[in-house]
Structure 1
Amino acid sequence: MNLADPNFQLEIAANVMVAGSILLAGRNNVHTWWMGIVGCALFALVFEHNHLYADMVLQFFFIAISVLGWWQWLRGDHGAPLPITRVRPRAWVWLVPVAVLGTFGYGWMLHRLTDAHAPFVDSAVLVLSVIAQFLMMRRKLESWWVWLLVNSIAVPLYYSRGLHLTSILYVGFWINALVAYRHWRKLMVAR
């Protein structure tokens, strides 16, 4: 870790913005969205430099979906903010196969068409993050369980690419997901 290295400086800036965004999401704060947009733009550059192309694409998805998430948290479906709710059990019947097929399909594509590092693991981070993001955007309590899984996969992946600061951040995200789950559950029960 060389503080004068522009790539490391970019990684620091991305970590700071995304850490702020994740902490705000866990606290059910709408400002999570704009901070996330800035942080994801920075992380797209970090991941591109490290040949983690699925994670780079994921950042573009996060930027686009954050605009919609911001609007939904403010306006909801009918002009009122969305309440925190649970995922219906039957939704998992299609979410799990989508996660598995998406991971293997995108991983296969990365393996065949790019010089991606750990294409299937990288793809699992992408696919599960997309699912978690959609669940969080709809204020579904179980989004935090999916984020726990994402973070458990991402920590060793990022560490293996020398992104030690980012892997430490994702350990923090893992802890935050546990705290956020508990906080959201209390908010859901209190309403």
Structure 2
Amino acid sequence: MKNWTKFELGWLGVFTLVNIYLFFAWGDSLLGLISSLTGMLCVVLVAKGKISNYYFGIVQTGTYAYISYTYGLYGEAMLNGLFYFPLQFVGIYLWNKNKVDQSTTGEDVKVKTLTKIQWMQLIVIAVITSVLYAYFLHLIGGQQVRIDSVAVVLSIIAQILMIKRYAEQWVLWIVVNGLSIVLWAITLLQSGGNDWSMLVMWTAFLVNSIYGYVNWIKMSKEQDDVGGLMESESKLILEG
């Protein structure tokens, strides 16, 4: 496959095989398998800066919202059904408006980075909102409200950073994915549920988020280098 590294293909292959094994060996649900597989395709395409990630994201967010609802993870259900799902369409629109020349870069969109002040504002907003949302989830009878709340709030912020093309989204995704692994492990053990593909999916997301951060920082530097080179060439042409 063009522009795919051995790591990307290996990562996708290993977790796909694990999910298929769980589906047959442990009786995982078909909806869980679909959600997990489309989710993995979505995140690896995000890590590569490909707009096509959003098409798989539409399927994944819709199916995952339903699965989360059936387990009483109302924060996860609302996040995916009411926020992630519609934002897939916003992402398609915004990323298409900010494309880069694929002949000079391997990705689709221009990457940005946060300033120190923006990081400080982000942390303050995340802490305050997480406390308030945890209280709301407690009122409606949600399960694992503290973990669920932090995961949801950081996910919302990370998704906004994603559609705005900030590399730092991946730092938040690393935290979110780690929390989600804990959340689903506790939920499945307590409920006796069989959707272990959800746990595999979030583990795959964690691996990909680390790779995504490294790759997006690399993309940002490469795009800056290309931009600087093109600017220099333009000046030489004007001066000539």
TM-score, length of structure 2 as denominator length: 0.73
* Counterpart position of 1:118: 144
Structure 1 residues 21-64: Cα deviation after superposition (integer angstroms, max 9, x where no partner): 01110111100011101110000110000000000011020011
Query: Considering only CA atoms, is the larger Rg found in Structure 1 or Structure 2?
Result: 2
* Counterpart position of 2:49: 28
CA distance in 2, matches of 1:172, 1:7: 17
Return the offset for 1:123. 1.0
CA distance in 2, matches of 1:186, 1:5: 40
In the alignment, structure 1 residue 100 sits paired with structure 2 residue 132: no
Task: Judge conservation of contact 1:132–1:147 (CA < 8 Å) in 2.
Answer: yes
Cα RMSD (Å): 2.0
Question: Aligned pair in 2 of structure 1 residues 3, 49: CA closer, same or farther (>3 Å)?
Answer: farther
Task: Judge conservation of contact 1:82–1:138 (CA < 8 Å) in 2.
Answer: no
Q: 1:156 is matched by which residue type in structure 2? A: V
CA distance in 2, matches of 1:83, 1:125: 27
Structure 1 residues 118-175: Cα deviation after superposition (integer angstroms, max 9, x where no partner): 1121111110000111111111111111100101111010111114321221111111
Task: Judge conservation of contact 2:28–2:197 (CA < 8 Å) in 1.
Answer: no
Look up the SS of the partner of 1:161 in the other structure: helix
Unaligned runs of 5+ in 1: none
Return the offset for 1:19. 1.0
CA distance in 2, matches of 1:36, 1:2: 21
* Counterpart position of 1:49: 70
* Counterpart position of 2:167: 141
Unaligned runs of 5+ in 2: 1-21, 100-107, 189-194, 224-240
TM-score, length of structure 1 as denominator length: 0.91
CA distance in 1, matches of 2:90, 2:69: 25
Return the offset for 1:76. 2.9
* Counterpart position of 2:117: 90
Identity %: 22
Task: Judge conservation of contact 2:50–2:109 (CA < 8 Å) in 1.
Answer: no
CA distance in 1, matches of 2:27, 2:141: 23
